[in-house]
Amino acid sequence: MSLATATSPGSGKRALTKKANRQAILDAASKVFARDGYEVASIRDIIRETSLASGTFYNYFKSKEEIFETIAAESAKRFQPRLKIISSQATDLASYFRAAYAAYFDFLVEENDVTISNGGPHRAMIGVRIDTPEIKAISDQIRSDIENVLRITGPKHLDAGYLTAAAIGIARQMGDLMLSRRPLEPEVAAAFASRLMLAGIKDFAKHV
């Protein structure tokens, strides 16, 4: 072939197994994290679930932390488009919060067994809190959504940072609780959370 070969980066056998190996490691990691918990799991545990050698892990990920973040980031990436749609369709605060919370709690239920469910048999007490770029991006988008929608509907001098923090804090903590209850009722949680936020914002609108 002449220069600028037609082969896209992924057609050759080389690139193919590379992709497969990476995915195998990611799958193994998800499995092990879910089974043993993040704390307990070791890189060796992960690589043992594949047919690869220990050294190979380090060709793809720097550390246990990095592979965890990658998994979290991919999860966040799956959520982001839903939020985008909601933010583009929402016209006012009420519709935005209602839809966003519903989307998030539904997402939690969906990913519940796939995502890291802390506390397998070894039930680590110390949980995980991630701050990947993607999760930051989601947080940022929510803030910008809130700012945008406040600019139109809401009161002027409302601290969007705190409001975003509150919205996310509610989502996190209520999400945990929602998942621990049977039956799973993401809609109920979403109704509760959005109502709480909306009432608060309306109140802020009233007197400065």
Residue numbers at the binding site for a copy of itself (CB under 8 A): 38-39, 65, 68-69, 124-132, 159, 161-162, 165-166, 168-174, 176-177, 189, 192-193, 195-200, 202-204
Give the one residue of 23, 42, 112, 144 binding DNA; rule: CB under 7 A.
Answer: 42
Q: Which of the choices a copy of itself, DNA, none does residue 56 contact, using the CB cut-off of 5 to 8 A by kind?
A: DNA
Backbone angles phi, psi at 159, to 5 degrees: -70, 100
**Contact between 5 and DNA per CB under 7 A:** yes
Span of 6-14, 88-96, 144-152, 159-167 interacting with DNA by CB under 7 A: 6-14
Identity of the residue, 59 or 173, whose beta carbon is nearer to DNA in the bound complex: 59
7 binds DNA (CB under 7 A): yes
Q: Which does 15 bind (CB under 5 to 8 A by kind): DNA, a copy of itself, none?
A: DNA
What is the footprint of DNA within residues 11-40 (CB under 7 A)? 12-18, 21
Burial 47-63 (b: 16+ CB within 10 A, else e): bebbebeeeebeebbee
Which of the listed partners (DNA, a copy of itself, none) does 45 bind, with a CB threshold of 5 to 8 Å by partner kind?
A: DNA
Please, which of residues 57-96 interact with DNA by CB under 7 A?
58-60, 63-64
Write down the least CB distance from residue 63 to DNA, Å: 5
- Environment class of residue 169 by beta-carbon count within 10 Å: exposed (0-12), middle (13-18) or buried (19+)? exposed
Residues that bind DNA (CB under 7 A): 1, 5, 7, 12-18, 21, 42-45, 51-56, 58-60, 63-64
